[in-house]
Amino acid sequence: MAYRVKEVFYSIQGEGYHSGRPTVFCRFSGCNLWSGKEKDRSNAKCSFCDTDFNNTDGDGGGIFKNAPKLVTHLLSFWPNTNPIRIEFTGGEPLLQLDQNLIDECKKNNIEITIETNGTQNVPDGIDWVCVSPKANVPIVVRKADELKIVYPQDGLDPKDFAAFKAKYYYLQAMDNDDLKENRDKTVEYCLNNQQWRLSLQIHKVLQIK
């Protein structure tokens, strides 16, 4: 299987439980909830995405014809320290992250984390799964290490996920023209519903990738 990658970069994890941890990010091209094209945004199942996952033309991106070639490329971004941590993201990473790639990562002692919309089954061997569900989109994933809801979303009530099996539950303010109002609503919801923690996009605060 050839892997289509939008970009690869080394930075600080900016969201959720692992905020602050150095991570190599592998952003796959493609998503099943939006084409990534602005002309399709208004009709997309996920219309608020703030990520460019189209094509393979980003820094470190490309088409990799097999898992060993992609893993070798990913390892070139990691400094000479351990443990090695790679997050597969997108778009929707589980459209491409398969058992061959997972097994190749494990051969190289890589800790694998993902953020998924929950619509694709999760293969074995992933060390940390963050599910970020979208409104009016059925999910097949029933448990995760971390549940992260972008808030508020019309048609998605965090209460509907109160029984979802996760170790940690996060709300993250939707980053759009109403960001200040969304932050206030998110903080208020967390204060009134202590199951939920506040997730901040600290990479945006720090203005880093």
Catalytic positions are 25, 31, 46, 49-51, 115, 203
Place of tokens 């189209």: 54
∠ CA 126-131-137, rounded to 5°: 130
Q: How many CB atoms lie within 10 A of CB 100?
A: 15
Closest CA to 117 of 97, 96, 145, 138: 138
Contact 155, 134 (CB under 8 A): no
Instruction: Count Cα neighbours of 174 within 13 Å in the Cβ-side half-sphere.
Output: 19
Closest CA to 145 of 170, 172, 124, 168: 168
Q: What is the CA radius of gyration of the chain?
A: 17
